[in-house]
Structure 1
Amino acid sequence: MDGRRVAEIFAELGEPAARNVIGMALEQLASILTEVDAALGAGDMAQSVAHAERMSRLAWQIGLLSLAGVAMDLGSTAERGDMPAVAAIRARLLRVGNRSLTAIWDREAMP
C-alpha cells in the first residue's frame, strides 16, 4: 500500500470525504475481485481482461500498488492465452487482493 497516496487523498478531500471515497473504492475492488475470479472460472478471458484492467486502474488510484501490478499481469497474461500462467496469477491475485483490501480496511478503521 502506498501510504503517501492515501495521505494525498485525505489531504485533497478531507477526512470524511476521503473515507467515503476509499470505502466505495474498496467495495468496488472486492466486487471486481469476485467478478474476475468468476470470469476466470468460466473460462471467459475477455471478461477476465476487462475486469483486471478495471481493478488495476482503481487499485492504482487508491495506492494499492501490488494489487494493481498483479491485476495488470493477469490481464496481459490472459490476453496472451498462457493458461498455466493465468492459473498461477489468479491465485496470486486472490492472495494479494484479500491482503490489500484487509490492510487498507484496517487502516481506515483506525481513528
Structure 2
Amino acid sequence: MTAVVTMLPLGEPARFNPGQLEKLCEKLGDLRAETEVAHALDRLSVLLDDLARCRRSGDHADMGALLAALVHDAQLIGMATLARVGQDVHDCLHSGDPTALAATLARLLRVGDRSIHAIWDLEDVSG
C-alpha cells in the first residue's frame, strides 16, 4: 500500500466574500456593520488564540464549540477561506485522524492570522 501525502500551501491568500459585507451593510447600516465587523475580528482573534492553546495542550474537548463559533463569525463577515478551513478542522476533529487534525489546525492558524491582517489592511486603505 502506498501512502498519499498532500502538500498544503503555506502562502495561501485570504479570500473574502464582498457580497457578504454588502449584505451586512444593507441589513445594519454602514456604521453598525463596521462595528460588527470589528467585534467579529476581535472574537476571531480570541478564538484563534484559544484554538492555539488547545493545540499546545492537546486538549480537544472544547475545540468543536470554538470551531463552530469561528466558522459562524468568519461567514458573518465574508471571510470565506477562514470559514472553509475552520470547517475542515472541525471535520478532522471528528475523523479521529490526529495527523490530519494537526495539519489542518496549523493551516487554520496561518489562514486566520493572514485573514485578520488582510481585513484590517483593507479597512486602513478604505478609510
Specify if TM > 0.5.
Answer: yes
Shift of 1:42: 1.1
Where structure 2 has 5 or more consecutive residues not aligned to the other structure, the ranges are: 1-15
CA contact (8 A) 1:49 1:76 kept: no
Of the candidates 102, 105, 109, which is equivalent to residue 94 of structure 1? 109
Aligned residues: 111
Shift of 1:10: 1.6
Pair member with larger Rg: 2
* Structure 1 counterpart SS, 2:62: helix
TM-score, normalization by structure 1: 0.92
Deviates more, 1:30-39 or 1:4-13: 4-13
Higher helix share: 1
1:38 matched residue in structure 2: 53
Listed as ranges, the matches of 1:19-98 within 5 Å are: 19-98=34-113
TM-score, normalization by structure 2: 0.81
CA contact (8 A) 1:50 1:75 kept: no
1:11 aligns with 2:32: no
Where structure 1 has 5 or more consecutive residues not aligned to the other structure, the ranges are: none
User: How much identity, in percent, do the aligned residues show?
Assistant: 33
Structure 1 residue ranges (4+ consecutive) displaced by more than 3 angstroms after TM superposition: none
Shift of 1:96: 0.8
Shift of 1:23: 0.2
Deviates more, 1:45-54 or 1:69-78: 45-54
1:103 matched residue in structure 2: 118
Distance in 2 (CA, whole Å) between partners of 1:62 and 1:104 is 10
